């Protein structure tokens, strides 16, 4: 049987391509509200666990934190940021010295190279300032979407959602914003998180994933959102 198709020139518009399904939360609006209320109650003013002094050191710390723990990065950057808290100072310190400061962190050779390259790029393109602009941030060496989201949120107070491994896991387990990759989860969260919680949602979800909804064995018995969560394999 011939497949039906629209005849050309019949004055009808071509059928639009099937739109990708909009990411959907498994939770009701009321449950989403209660989930964030519970996370907020536990920690009303959450902060990044990465230590930094200004937007530049935040940017460097986030770049260094890829595949490393915040505690490990903080240990390495404490001395480094004493000496170099601006792109100009980082550049005069030089790649060898930066590498020496961060050698306890994974991928340190590449990260030292990127730290110098991004300092140079900030001076050349942005007068030594960290730009408040996603495209400009993502054009910097070693800076991807997640890093840009963290900087926009933490340094500039923008309501972005940086999906790391913890947020990805929590969003999928709870049913808050299921997705097969970080971008799908990010879009789902942006669509479902109420505006009033957006500024801190990123930190609440990270901290929840890091300390309660842990990768190997989540602490479901003490979890404040247990009654809302849809994870079928809860512990306890």
Among 100, 124, 133, 219, binds ligand SF4 (CB under 6 A): 219
CB atoms within 10 A of CB 164: 18
**Set 75, 146, 180, 233: catalytic member:** 146
By the 8 A CB rule, do 227 and 59 touch?
A: no
Rounded alpha-carbon distances, angstroms, from residue 163 to 15, 69, 94, 147: 35, 16, 32, 10
* Residue ranges of E strands in 29-170: none
Residue 26 binding ligand SF4, by CB under 6 A: no
Cα separation of 194 and 196, whole Å? 5
Using only the alpha carbons of the chain, give its radius of gyration.
Answer: 22
Minimum distance of ligand SF4 from residue 33's CB (angstroms): 16
Cα separation of 83 and 199, whole Å? 31
Nearest to residue 205, comparing CAs of 32, 15, 39? 39
- Which residue lies nearer to ligand SF4 by CB, 82 or 233? 233
Plot region of 123 (φ>0 → left; ψ -120 to 50 → alpha; else → beta): alpha
- Which residue lies nearer to ligand SF4 by CB, 148 or 213? 213
Minimum distance of ligand SF4 from residue 163's CB (angstroms): 16
Residue 38 binding ligand SF4, by CB under 6 A: no
Cα separation of 195 and 203, whole Å? 15
SS3 state of residue 64: helix
Residues between 189 and 218 that touch ligand SF4 (CB under 6 A): 212-213, 218
Q: Tell me if 75 is assigned to a ligand binding site.
A: no
Residue 133 binding ligand SF4, by CB under 6 A: no
- Which residue lies nearer to ligand SF4 by CB, 101 or 173? 173
- The footprint of ligand SF4 on this chain (CB under 6 A) covers a number of residues equal to 13
Nearest to residue 175, comparing CAs of 192, 159, 162? 192
Task: Give CA angle at 200 (198, 201), nearest 5°.
Answer: 60
Minimum distance of ligand SF4 from residue 217's CB (angstroms): 9
**Set 14, 82, 89, 164: catalytic member:** 164
Judge whether 146 counts as a catalytic residue.
yes
Residues between 147 and 176 that touch ligand SF4 (CB under 6 A): 173-174
- Which residue lies nearer to ligand SF4 by CB, 125 or 234? 234
Minimum distance of ligand SF4 from residue 199's CB (angstroms): 21
Which residues contribute to the annotated binding site? Answer: 213, 220, 223, 229
Binding site for ligand SF4 (CB under 6 A): 173-174, 212-213, 218-220, 223, 225-226, 229, 231, 234
Residues marked active site are found at 146, 164
């Amino acid at each position: 049987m011939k497949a039906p198709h629209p005849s050309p020139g019949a004055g009808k518009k071509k059928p639009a391509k099937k739109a990708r399904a909009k990411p959907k939360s498994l939770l009701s609006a009321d449950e989403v509200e209660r989930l964030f209320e519970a996370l907020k109650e536990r920690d009303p003013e959450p902060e990044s666990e990465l230590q930094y002094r200004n937007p530049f050191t935040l940017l460097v710390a986030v770049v260094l934190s890829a595949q490393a723990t915040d505690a490990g990065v903080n240990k390495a950057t404490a001395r480094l940021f004493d000496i170099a808290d601006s792109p100009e100072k980082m550049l005069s310190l030089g790649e060898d010295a930066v590498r020496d400061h961060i050698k306890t962190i994974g991928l340190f050779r590449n990260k030292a190279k990127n730290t110098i390259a991004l300092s140079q790029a900030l001076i050349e393109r942005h007068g030594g300032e960290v730009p408040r602009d996603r495209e400009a941030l993502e054009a910097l060496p070693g800076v991807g979407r997640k890093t840009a989201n963290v900087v926009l949120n933490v340094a500039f107070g923008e309501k972005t959602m940086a999906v790391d491994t913890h947020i990805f896991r929590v969003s999928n387990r709870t049913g808050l914003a299921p997705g097969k990759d970080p971008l799908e989860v990010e879009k789902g969260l942006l669509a479902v998180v109420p505006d009033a919680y957006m500024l801190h949602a990123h930190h609440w979800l990270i901290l929840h994933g890091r300390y309660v909804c842990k990768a190997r064995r989540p602490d479901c018995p003490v979890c404040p959102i247990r009654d809302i969560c849809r994870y079928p394999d809860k512990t306890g």
